[in-house]
Amino acid sequence: MTTLAISSRKKEIRTRRHARVRAKISGTATRPRLSVFRSNRGITAQLIDDEKSVTLVGISSLTLKKGTPVERARACGVKLAELAKAKKISTVVFDRGGFLYAGAVKALAEGAREGGLDF
C-alpha cells in the first residue's frame, strides 16, 4: 500500500468514528459542544451552539509560539476556558473529533478543566 492510500484510509476511519460520536452529542446555547481538531501543525478548539449553528468561542495553538505541542494544547484549553467564562459558559459537552483521548487532545481537555469548564 502506498503512503497516500494509508493516509486516506486513516482519515476515513477517523471520519467514521467522529460521525458515530456526533450522532450522540449536540451542543446548545447553555451547554455548547467543545469541538477539537488536531492537525500535524497544531490543535484548534471551538465552543459550538449546534441549535443555531454558531461558533461561540474559538482558539488555535498556532497563536502560541513556545512549548511542545502538548504544552501548547494545555495552554489553549486554559485560554478557551477563560474566554468561555467571559461569555458566562461553565458547562460543555466534549467532542474529541474522532481522535484518541491522548496526547494533545487530553492536554487540551485537562487545561479546559483547570480553567474552570465542567464536562
| Residues 43-77: tens digit of each pLDDT | 999 999 999 999 999 999 998 889 999 999 999 99
Count CA atoms closer than 13 A to 75's CA, side-chain side.
14
Q: Would you say 64 and 75 are in contact if contact means Cβ atoms under 8 Å apart?
A: yes
Q: State how far the Cα of 9 lies from the Cα of 95, in Å rounded to an integer.
A: 22
In the chain, beta strands by DSSP E: 33-38, 43-49, 54-60, 93-95
Q: What is the pTM of this model?
A: 0.88
Tell me the pLDDT tens digit for each residue of 69-119. Answer: 999 999 999 999 999 999 999 999 999 999 999 999 999 999 999 999 999
